[in-house]
Amino acid sequence: MRIRRRSAAIFALAAAGALMVAGVAFAAPTSTFLFTAGPKTAPKTTFKAGSLFTNLTTHYTNPGNNNPGGAVERTQIFLDKNFKINPGAAGTCAESKLTGATMKQAMARCAGALVGKGNATASANGAFTINGCVLLFNGPPSAGNPTLQVFTRVNASPPGAISCANPAQNTQGNATVLLKGVLRPAAAPYGKVLDVDHITQSAAFPLEVFKTTIKKGNYFSVRCNAADHLWRMKTTWTYNNNTKRTVSKTQQCTVG
């Protein structure tokens, strides 16, 4: 009887352990996406210079580049076909000028290529939050496609605080993450997709929040041409266990 009870107890513990492992294995990251494009009142057929704000947020159950499902490996941001990117509206900045740079150095070398700013956070594998400042630079073409240099200066030491004020004079932070987004053609109702791949090779810690605003002359412009007066965007995340998540959003525009 004692042996049977002991065996039953061992079996129960093993079953509980299996359920815990299964829970970890099947627990997936959750990502959300928001955007605001402007001006909300735009011409029907011609394009008007504007801005694009995006907010990408991911929550991990087990953050870490070495933990399956613990990091974003690829982000694809699909832009409405009534959005236009004009790389000729800014200078270009090569990757070599930004690698390992501070914000001050990046601005000194590439201010004419700056097309956007923002802020970001990453998880120090769950230990603390790493804060960063984002600068978006127009990059040189890749196989004929426009590129965006996504420069992020972070403070990777606890408590991870950093100020993003006055980047032209800002030397804060102790590490630089540099990602390259390639703007490729996309099927309707989209016109382009900004494809940022191989993220974990450049970012030592899992990215959690990326909030940026693109605005520089007519680098980004809009028109309100759809019959239903809606702009459409979507984001697809690919995690480091090859699972994916896609979130689609719309915004109303007015012809004027």
| pLDDT of 27 | 58
For residue 16, is pLDDT > 50? no
Q: What is the mean pLDDT of residues 27-44?
A: 94
Long-range contacts of 131-134 (CB under 8 A, 24+ apart): 131/155, 131/160, 131/161, 131/162, 132/162, 132/173, 132/177, 133/103, 133/162, 133/163, 133/164, 133/167, 133/170, 133/172, 133/173, 134/210, 134/211, 134/212
161-179 pLDDT, tens per residue? 999 999 999 999 999 999 9
- Mean pLDDT score across all residues of the chain: 90
| Whether residue 68 has pLDDT greater than 90 | yes
pLDDT (tens digit per residue) in 222-253:
999 999 999 999 999 999 999 999 999 999 99
pLDDT of 114-142, one tens digit each?
999 999 999 998 899 999 999 999 999 99
